[in-house]
Structures are given as structure tokens and as C-alpha cells.
Structure 1
Amino acid sequence: MKRKSILALLGAACMVSAQAKPQAPLKFDASKSAKSSLTMPDGRIVHYTAYTKQYFVSQVEDSTYQYLNVFVPEGATEQTPIFVRTYIGGYMESTAGYPQAADASGRALAEGYVLVIPGSRGRRSTVKQGKQTLYTGRAPKGLLDLKAAIRYLRHFDRELPGDTEKIIIDGTSAGGAMSALVGATGNHPAYAPLLKAMGAADERDDVFASVCFCPITDLEHADMAYEWLYGGTASRQALPEVQRQLTEELAAQYPAYLNSLGLARPDGRALTADNYRDYIKELLIESAQAAKDAGANIADTLGFSFSAEVAFQAPINGGVGQPPAPAGLPFAPRGMRRGAPQQGEYITGLDLEKYLNYVVTTQPLKGVPAFDSYQVDGAEASGENGLFGDARGSDANFTPWAAGKTGAKLSAELLERVRLMNPMGFIGDAQATNAPYWYLRHGARDRDTAFPIVINLAAQLRKHGRAVDFKLPWNRPHSGDYALNELFAWLKAITR
């Protein structure tokens, strides 16, 4: 089936559901406003005006989610950046909420940004049509809601303070993936008929910057990446033979995909399957070294190796500086410090397999497959299988490999929905307006998706000239909105 036909079917499906609940024309209701304040952790009080329950489409399918809340701090002008915080998790539905002092939403207000918190449909959101329950948020509807929210902000630019040329979107986990999608797919015509059917504003939906914490993205290749990285760990090797075989099959597919991307390191050297693990080690060493320099204790049991301790010890109480006493001596010669050798200042290497086994001890790995698991070797459906299900509430495989294991074949319509949910293919697409600035973080012990997923995202963006600030922060599990001083210093620099 040709792509135009697929998009027509998707648009028609949206139109049918939209026509079931006709709504008033798109509008901004200034009467839904109230003065309020937020007390920050440091005691500062931030005063703002809240404009709540502003529906961002005229054909509202799910009135519980398809609106946004806007929070305008005192002193905001037309030049004030706009910070859009989505609370999507697990590709589930997300209600338009209120600023939280402890996360980036409250910090954005305190920094003077106009804050927007949009609702969005998700894989479990439903509405009743007569006796029938319809699932309203199957892919790509959650993304469409975020795009419609961005368009709404531009449509009512005159009614609200804030610079719509400086829109920043922030999300974590599946929300981080959505942030990446919004940043990568701006104004792409593939989404246009779907947005039109919803009654979204006829405006641009590109953004200035995407902040993505631990994005669960590139779902078509996430299972391959997971087993390629973690397949050699003790927990994977202890699985029953059938599951070990699945692990090996998936892992074997990943090198060809890595090589097909044509990626490079920041210094321009080619990044291939042959040197990729070395690059992961470099990133982890860089992360651990930064933490060690800040005073963290990095245990050598994690797989790191260290330089020898510096030979010269600073004089103490007027004494002459000397190296420490060798390990095992029953006494310390005069002028030498007694005790076991200390770690050197620099991390010089990493046993990656040892480190990955450590990561697994902090949280068990996901099953096999980790993402497209539905009916593969009798496994239950994952949240991602629900994401690609239909309006009746079904689960669905979304990779040809998993579908083949169940004796099924993916439809052209489903493959198109999968494409619309992967930012990788839209980065560098001439029809898309990619965000120029990206802030990517994935914790150094986050096993919810494999390190290569976000590493590839960063490399793909750099390949196409986008400015990327990327790290694997030390000792961070699957989480977001941390190191806010660092994040907002970056935002200040790019919006200046």
C-alpha cells in the first residue's frame, strides 16, 4: 500500500472518532485564569497567573486529556522562553497538571520561563461511545496531542506572553522519547492530515530545544540493542536455552543496523559495530571520572582500573613528602604513610562486561524480548505492544522479527504508525524542521533501555548539524529532571 493511502486511512480513522464529538471552534479562554504562587525548595515564592483547561484541538475526542495549562510568572514578556513539560510515562496518558517545586516545571517558573503543561492521550486512555469502550491514545495520538499543543501556543501567541520561537520541551522515559519526537518531526507533512482531522491549529509545530531524559525510543531496534549489550551478562546466560537463543538472534541483528546508520564520534571518527563497545567504555569512564573528580568513591569492583597513586605526598606538619608505604608492610618506615595503596587519580580502563553485570545487580534486566514481547515464547505484552494496539484495546507486535515468531505479518498501516513514532528517521529529513538544540541524558546505571539507543540519537543529531549536550551521568538510574542547575545553565546559554 502506498504511503499516501496509509496516511489517508489514518486520517479517516481520526476523523471518524472526531466527528462523534463535535466541539466549538478552537479558542483561548482568558476567563479560566487565576493568580497563584509556588514556594521553591530554597524558600523563594514564585507568583504566577494560571490559564487552565485550554483545549488545543477543536475536535476533542477525549476531554480528560486534550487540553493544556499555561503558567505565566510575573515579569514575563513576549521575549520570555516557553518551557513545555510533559509528564508522559510508559507511553501512557498524561493529565495537564500544575507546577511542581522539586522538578523542572517549578524551576522553569522560578527562572522566569512561561510554563506549559499539556495533557495527552496514551495507550490506556479510553472513552465510551454507547456501549463500546474505545482506546483513544494508541500511536501516534499522544504525539499528535503534543504537536497540537505546540500549534495552539503559536495560534494564540498574541493572547499569551512568551516567545514561540524559543519553545523548549522536556520529558523523561517515554516522555523523553516524545520530547525527541517533537524535536525531530517538526512540521513534517506525514502528520498533517492527522492533525487536521483533530482540529489542530494550522500553525508550525517545531520547537527550539528538546530536553530528553532517558528516552525510550527507536523501538524497532530496542530489543536488538538490549540483547547486544546485555546478552553476555550472567543473568542472561542463566536463562533457559530457548530464551538464550532468542537473545542470540536479536543480538546478531544489531551490528548491521549500527553500521547502516553511518554515525561518527564527536571527533569525527567513524562509529561502527567493531568499535562501538570501546566508545561506550569511553563514555562510562568519562562519567565516572567526572564523579571521582567531584569527590565520589568509584569502586574498582565495578570493573574500572586506575592509575598508580601519585608518587609524591605533600609534606605534613613540616615533614618531607614521601610515597605511601607499600602494601603489606608490618610497619611504616620513618617518613612513609602506613596503609594499603590508594586508587590513583585517573581512571585508565574499564572491563565493560564486569560493569554491565554490576548494572544488572542494581535492577534486574527486562525479559526477552524487552520491548516487543507479545506472544514471543509465550511472553506477555509490554507497554509498547499496547502502544501499537488498536482502538478496541488489542496488543500488537511492531517488529517483523517478533511478528514472525508468532506467525503474523505486520500491516502497512501498522508499519507506518511505527515509523511515525521513531525520531531517528526524521533527523536530517529535508521535510522536517529539527530542533537546533538538544539536551540528552541517560543514567550510567539505567537499564530500562540500552545505552546505544540514546548514544545513537546523539550521534544522529550531530551528524546532521544539531547542537547536542549529551552525557551518561554517573550512578543515575532511570530518572529525569536531575542536575537542574546544569540544565538551566545550558538553557540560559542557548536562549540568551
Structure 2
Amino acid sequence: MASQFPAYEKSLGLRNPDGSRLTAATMLDTIEKEVIRSAETYLQADPAHTIPPLGGTFEITSGAPGGTPTTKSYVNDWIDVDTATDTVRSVDMAKYLAFVATQAKLKTTPAFDAVGVHGNTTSGTETDLFGPPTQTYMNYTEYGWNHNDVAGDGSGIDDTGLTWKQYTAKKSTTVDDQVHLINPMDFIGTSADTAPNWYVRHGTRDRDTAFTVSVNLDRALAADPQVRNLNHRLAWNQPHAGNYDVPEAMAWIADTVRKAGNPLAPRHLG
């Protein structure tokens, strides 16, 4: 899968705000800049906001809603901050990514399409959403399909005798259409109607969704002329979650609606 990423990234044809091409080779530097922007935005938003010095500790509390929270300490060995100017001196990306990976056990590969792969029979994942209604699940990635080895599940080369490319080439196949319909990258920047307003957040401690996902989404949206209001940022020190920025998100929505005005007003109706 890793070997296929450079070609995929190149096929997107994305660029960074400075005009440079976003490729597999430049992705790590791009993510580093986003991490720095996240940290500096956090520090400058409130005088009470601090980041531990190098050698200091992050105290991180985690736990599912309704459960018992747990707090763990992590040594800061990856980000150096100038407290006088609230700016970031440096980020060690290798140590940063290692820090992210220590938050919790990582998902198996491929993260959201691992059912049936290498004997995995645990269902209940995104894989359940794909395939015909007569099947519990169907692998929806080329890797997952070609590496499915659970006999009798109706998915993979072992049951169909067809590789992913051969299976999706059949007119009767629907799984590739399903994947197409849920992938925003297939529609952004095309003749499709793209929403003009976007608010995108992705935690800097999120070990479930790759940082490449939100970065690619942001760059694609920025290049779409239909998008007029794009607010993307890595949310500082936040995990894989969605309720950490409700006041900020609601304020953004209120401001966006206010600026849009009355949709029934004459100027909107033409």
C-alpha cells in the first residue's frame, strides 16, 4: 500500500498555498508546517495556553464518554517552543509521529477495510457498508480485496476468482460505484456542485485518520473556484474525536450564515 501512495498523490495534482506541488516526497514537510500552524494558533489564542518545554511532559486524559477517564504522561521530545514569542522553533517529525502512535493501539492494515484480510473475521466496520444487500460486507479497496482469504464471504479473489481490477471492470459490479459516491476527491474541482463553505478540523493526536487525508482535502478545496470560505486546521493536541471545538464551529457557522444573508432576498433569486 505504501508503494502505491506516491502515484496516487501525484494523480491528485494538488498544490500547497505557496504554489509548490504536493507530492509524497513533500507531504511530510507539509504536515510539519500544519502542525506548527496548529501549535502557534493555539498558543496565540489565549495567554493561558502553554506547551511543555522539551523534556517536559504532556499530561493527556482519555476515555470514552461515560467511562472512567485515564491520564498518562508523555515526555515532550518533539516540539520546541519559544514561550516569549509564542512561536515554534522546531518539530522533530519522526518523534512527533511516534508520539501520535503511542496514544492507543493502531488499527490493522488496511485500517477501515481489514475484514477478511489475512483471516480477519471480525466484522462491524466500514466494510459492512459496501457490496450487495445479500452480503454482510465486501472489501472496497484493491488491497483488501486482493488479500481477502476468508473462504465463503463472497469477497476477494478466493471467492470470485477475479482480481479487484477484473471484478470492478464488470458492469454488474456496484462496489466501485459506492466508493466513488462517498469519495469527495472524485467531485471536488469538477463540474459537480461543490459546497462553498467548509470547516475542517483534524486533531494533531489523531492516530485513526492519516494526516494526508485532511491535507489533501484542504488543498483540493482551496483549488476549487466554487469554494469561497475554507477554514481548515489541525486542532492542537486533540485526538480522533469531533466534539472538542463545538463553540468555535458554531461561531463559524453563525458567521457564515450571517454573511450569506437571506437566501430568499431578490439579489439571491436573480
Give the 3 Å change call, closer, same or farther, for CA 388–398 of structure 1 in structure 2: same
- Superposition deviation, residue 472 in structure 1: 0.6
Q: Does 1:269 align with 2:10?
A: no
Does residue 1:398 correspond to 2:173, yes or no? no
| Identity over aligned pairs, percent | 36
Q: 2-side partners of 1:355 and 1:299: how far apart?
A: 14
1:375 and 2:116 aligned: yes
Q: Is the 8 A contact 1:371 1:382 kept in 2?
A: no
Match of 2:34 in 1: 283
Q: CA deviation at 1:392?
A: 2.5
* AA matched with 2:115: Y
Aligned counterparts of 2:6 and 2:92: Cα–Cα separation in 1: 21
1:393-438 superposed Cα distances (whole Å, 9 cap, x missing partner): 42111112221223243343221111112111011221x2111110
Rg (Cα) greater in structure? 1
Aligned partner of 1:260 among 1, 5, 11 = 11
Distance in 2 separating the partners of 1:414 and 1:462 = 29
Matched position secondary structure for 2:174: helix
Matches of 1:415 and 1:368 in 2, distance apart? Answer: 20
Kindly provide the CA deviation profile for residues 73-128 of structure 1, in whole angstroms up to 9, marking residues without a partner as x: xxxxxxxxxxxxxxxxxxxxxxxxxxxxxxxxxxxxxxxxxxxxxxxxxxxxxxxx
For residue 404 of structure 1, what is the amino acid of its counterpart?
A: N
If the length of structure 1 is used for normalisation, what is the TM-score? 0.40
- Measured on the aligned residues, the alpha-carbon RMSD in Å equals 2.0
Displacement of 1:297 after TM fit? 2.4
Distance 2:32 2:102 in 1: 19
Aligned residue pairs total 212
- SS for the counterpart of 1:390 is coil
Cα offset, 1:273, TM superposition: 1.5
- Once residues 193 and 146 of structure 2 are traced to their aligned partners in structure 1, the CA distance between those partners, rounded to angstroms, is 35
SS in 2 for 1:460: helix
1:492 maps to 2:254: yes
1:52 corresponding residue in structure 2: none
Flag the 1:455–1:382 CA change in 2: closer, same or farther, 3 A: farther
Q: Describe the shift of the 1:484–1:375 C-alpha distance in structure 2 as closer, same or farther (beyond 3 A).
A: closer
Higher relative contact order (CA 8 A, sep 6+): 1
Query: How far apart are 1:354 and its partner, in Å?
Result: 0.6
Specify the alignment match of 1:303 in structure 2: 78
CA-CA distance at 1:486 after TM superposition: 2.0
How far did 1:287 drift? 1.2
* Distance in structure 2 (CA, Å) of the matches to 1:382 and 1:451: 24
Deviations 1:180-220 (A, max 9, x none): xxxxxxxxxxxxxxxxxxxxxxxxxxxxxxxxxxxxxxxxx
CA shift in 2, pair 1:299/1:386, >3 Å: farther
Distance 1:383 1:399 in 2: 14
Q: How does 1:48-127 map to 2 (within 5 A)?
A: none
Unaligned runs of 5+ in 1: 1-249, 311-343
Partner amino acid, structure 1, of 2:51: N
How far apart, CA to CA, are the structure 2 residues paired with 1:457 and 1:271?
A: 12
Equivalent residue for 1:479, pick from 241, 251, 268: 241
User: How far, CA to CA, are the matches of 2:184 and 2:135 in structure 1?
Assistant: 25
TM-score by length of 2: 0.72
State the 1:302 CA deviation: 4.1
For residue 345 of structure 1, report the CA deviation from its aligned partner.
4.2
- Select 1:360's aligned residue among 101, 104, 116: 101
* C-alpha contact 2:103 2:207 (8 A) present in aligned 1: no
Give the secondary-structure state (helix, strand or coil) at the position aligned to 2:24: coil
